[in-house]
Copies of this chain bind each other. A is one copy, B any other.
């Protein structure tokens, strides 16, 4: 009864379930959750609306399954890379490797689970912006461990920076990462075509470089209060 047809799968129609998941992922990632209807997804997957209900019960269930499929592999890949990064001896190089371990899996392109990091990360960005409840629960209980591990690793490379500052800066990193995946065309536009915002390799290098520098900035507590007079101040 619980027999799993792992070898042959469904042969004639190449796995409708996967097609629905892929279509939903793409549509959610580009249009948000509420703008996409179950019928849109079914049509994009070449399936029947009822088929979505059969496989995932509800629209929320479909989103939940998208998260379930990706969280494991992505966090695994991140911890592998993080472990490798921690073995780098030079402190400066180690920091860069740690940042890279966080950034690279989020940008990998492709259609399979291991490679579809960019699409899934973009999905997370959009769900985060929409304040999606399903996503919020999953995120908090699945990604916070990874985030803490990352923050700790950065902290080890920069022991003189307060942990609070590192949290802020890693938060900025995630925001920059999200935004780069959400509106890559803006980079192309503002650079007047000199840069390609859709090029993952460029985005990674630029983001890593900028983020490492941001992490290495002096701590706020000791730098900010005794600086020169504020040149620009809020009006109220």
Q: Which residues of A contact B (CB under 8 A)?
A: 30-35, 81, 84-85, 88, 93-94, 96-97, 100-101, 104, 108, 110, 114-115, 125-126, 128-131, 140, 144, 147-148, 151, 163-165, 167-180, 182-183, 186-187, 189-191, 194-195, 197, 202-203, 205-207, 209-214, 216-218, 220, 223-224, 228, 231-232, 234-236
Do B97 and A231 touch (CB < 8 A)?
yes
Enumerate chain B residues within 8 angstroms of A176, measured Cβ to Cβ: 171-173, 175-176, 179
Chain B, residue nearest A195 (CB): B164
Q: How far is the CA of A205 from the CA of B168 in the complex (A)?
A: 10
In the assembled complex, the CB of A80 is this many whole angstroms from the nearest CB of chain B, namely 9
Oligomeric state, in copies:
2
Do A130 and B172 touch (CB < 8 A)?
no
Do B232 and A182 touch (CB < 8 A)?
no
Known contacts A128-B183, A167-B195, A236-B110: A144-B220 contact under CB 8 Å: no
Enumerate chain B residues within 8 angstroms of A31, measured Cβ to Cβ: 130-131
Q: How far is the CA of A176 from the CA of B190 in the complex (A)?
A: 17
Do B180 and A178 touch (CB < 8 A)?
no
Do B167 and A97 touch (CB < 8 A)?
no
List 7 A-B pairs, minimum CB-CB distance, nearest first. A175-B179, A213-B217, A129-B129, A172-B176, A34-B34, A210-B214, A168-B206
Task: Return the contact of A179 from the options B131, B140, B179 (Cβ within 8 A).
Answer: B179
Q: How far is the CA of A119 from the CA of B182 in the complex (A)?
A: 20
Residue with the highest number of chain B CB atoms closer than 10 Å, among A85, A126, A218 = A126
In the assembled complex, the CB of A76 is this many whole angstroms from the nearest CB of chain B, namely 12
Known contacts A167-B195, A172-B180: A209-B224 contact under CB 8 Å: yes
Q: How far is the CA of A195 from the CA of B169 in the complex (A)?
A: 12
Known contacts A176-B171, A206-B165, A210-B172: A130-B234 contact under CB 8 Å: no
Q: How far is the CA of A210 from the CA of B180 in the complex (A)?
A: 18
In the assembled complex, the CB of A156 is this many whole angstroms from the nearest CB of chain B, namely 15
